[in-house]
Amino acid sequence: MKRKLTAAIMAACMVTGLLAGCGDSAADSSGSTSGDTQTEAVQESTTTTEAEAAPELSEEDKQAQEKVKMNIDELLANGLEIEDTDLTGEFSYWSAFTGDSAVWEQSRVDAFNELYADKGIKCNVQFVPDGAGVSNGKLLSAIAGGQAPDLIICDNATAAYSYAANGSFEMLQPYLDKVDLNVDNFFPGCKDVIYYKDEPYLIPQDTNVMLLYYNPDMVTEAGLGPETPTTTLDELDAWAEALTIQNDDGSYARFGLIPWLDLQTDAFTLPFFFGADVYDASTNTLNLTSPEMVACMEWFQSYGEKYDPERISSFTSGLGGMFSPDHAFMTGKVAMTITGNWFTGALRTYAPDVNYKVCAIPAPEGGRSNSTTFATNVFAIPQGSKNPELATLFIKFCMSGAVNEDNFAEWRSIPTSDAEFDNVSLTKNGDEIYALERELANSPENGIPALCSVSTELAKAMVTFRESVIYGNTTDIAGELQKLQDKYQAELDKNN
C-alpha cells in the first residue's frame, strides 16, 4: 500500500523524524502491488527519551499534530468502532512500509494507540526493510532467537506465503475467532494467500489489480484509437511497434512498451495472463513447462530480438523508479506500461499533467483476459509471538473501511470483498477506473500465482531465467524450464 500524504500528516511525522525517502516500488509493487525504496536501518517508533529531548515545536507543527488527532474523530464518525475487549498490554509490530507509506503507517498506529489507550493497549511499530525482514532473513533470525515481533505486515505476499508453508507463522483461526474477524466473504483470489492446507495464516489488508496504462495522446498521434484500447496480445504488440520511435543511430527515443519495465522482480504476473498455472496445491506439483509458460517466455524473447536487449538496457538504465518524476511513462519515454492501480497515485503526485488511460491487460488466445493477479500486503503473526490476540485486534482495526478509505481514494487500492466497494467514496463518485478495477476483481480467473513453500527462491530463479531469455542467452526455453522444474520440485518434495 502506497500513501500520498496530506500536508498535515507529513509535517507532524517529520517532527518525529519518521519520514523516510520515497523511492522505487517493487510492485512494485506493490505496489502494488507492493514497497518503496528500502531504508538502510530499522526505524523504530518510540516515545522520545529524556536523553533525546524533543525540539521546540513551531506553531505550524503543533497545528499539524492537531490535525492528525482530528483524523481520529473522523474515523469514528465514518463508522469505526472501538472493540469492547478485555485485552490489554503492548505488542510489537514490524512494518515493511517505507517512505510515504511509512508515514501513513505511523498515523494508523498512532490512531490505534489513542483509541485503545484507556484499555492499556499499545502497538510499538518498527519499520523493517525487505518485507519486514522476510526477504533478507532478519525475521527468521528473530524467530530463531526468540525475539520475534508479535505481528508483521509484508509487501511481498509470495515470500510471506513461503514462510507460512515452512512453519514460521502462527495459524490464525483461534485469534480471528477471538476478535470476530471473518474472512469468508473475501474474493476467492485473495483466499489463495490466506490459506495454507486449508488453515488461515495470512490476512490481506486490502488488494490491488494489475492494469495496462497508455498515453492516449501518443496513441492518437500513432493513428490508433485510444477509446478502443487493445484487448489481445497481437494488438498489444502492434501498438507497441506503432508507438516506438527509433533514432537514426539505432537508439530509441521512445518505446511503445517494455513488458517487464515495472515488473522487475515479479516473475509470475505476465505468465498468469498467458494462462500458466505454476503450482497445483492439490498435488504439490510445479508446472513450469506448460505451453502457456513457454509461450510467455517466447514473447519476452521476441521483444529482446526485435528491439535489442542491450539498447533496451541502455535506454532504461537512467530512468527513475515508479515513485519518481523521472519514471519513463511520466517523461514520455514509454507510451504504455503494465503495473498496478497504485501507479494512478504516483501519476497524480509526480506527473499530474500527464494524460493517461487504463484498460485490462491484454491476453493471448486461451489466456486469462479481463482478469488480474491480486497484489496485496499481508499481515502475519510469527511463531513465538507473545501477544497474538492483541496483534489480531490491530489487524481487524486495519481492515476497517474507515481506516482504509484514504488508501482507497488516493491509490485506488480495493477492498478484499465486493460488497465493500459500495462503501468506498470512489464507487459513490462514479470513478471509471475504480469501476474497471471492480469488474476485474470479480473475475473467477483471479488469484495470486505460485504460492508454495519454495515461492521466494523460485521467483528469483524465474526472474533470472527471464533475463537470460531476453538477452538471448537461453535458446532452449522448454529444456531450461524443465531443469528449473526438476530442481524446485525436489525442494517441494523435501519440504512436504
Among 52-56, 185-189, 270-274, 324-328, whose mean pLDDT is lowest? 52-56
Residue 197 and residue 429 in contact, taking contact as beta carbons nearer than 8 Å: no
Per-residue pLDDT tens digits for 384-408: 999 999 999 999 999 888 888 888 9
List, edge to edge, every strand of the sheet that includes 210-214: 336-340, 210-214, 357-359
How is residue 305 written as a grid cell?
A: 530480438
Rounded CA separation 62/215 (Å): 42
Q: Is a pLDDT exceeding 70 seen at residue 27?
A: no
Sign of CA dihedral 156, 27, 42, 127: negative
User: Residue 227: which H helix or E strand, with range?
Assistant: none
Give pLDDT tens digits for 361-390: 999 999 999 999 999 999 999 999 999 999
pLDDT at 21 > cutoff 70:
no
> Which residues, including other chains, have CB under 8 Å from residue 235's CB and lie 6 or more apart?
362
Position 59 scores a pLDDT of 57
Mean pLDDT of the region 285-313 = 97
* The three three-digit cell numbers of residue 5, written as one number: 500524504
Q: For residue 23, which of 479, 440, 392, 327 has the smallest C-alpha distance?
A: 327
pLDDT in tens, 119-137: 999 999 999 999 999 999 9
36 pLDDT more than 60: no
Evaluate if residue 38 carries a pLDDT over 50.
Answer: no
**pLDDT-based confidence at residue 76 (cuts at 50, 70, 90):** confident
Q: Is the pLDDT of residue 106 over 60?
A: yes
Length of the chain as a residue count: 496
Cα gap 493→496, rounded to integer Å: 5
* Cα 126 to Cα 314: distance, rounded to the nearest angstrom: 38
Three-state SS for 271? helix
Radius of gyration of the chain (CA): 23
Closest CA to 247 of 315, 328, 163: 315
Question: What does pTM read for this prediction?
Answer: 0.83
Question: In the predicted model, what is the mean pLDDT of residues 421-437?
Answer: 95
Q: CB-based burial of residue 188 (10 Å sphere; 0-12 exposed, 13-18 middle, 19+ buried)?
A: exposed
Residue 337 pLDDT > 50: yes
Judged against a pLDDT cut of 90, whether residue 71 lies above it is answered with: no
Q: What is the DSSP string of 440-469?
A: HHT-TT-B-TT-STTHHHHHHHHHHHHHHH
Phi, psi dihedrals of residue 363, rounded to the nearest 5°: -130, 155
Cα–Cα distance, 311 to 319 (Å, whole number): 13
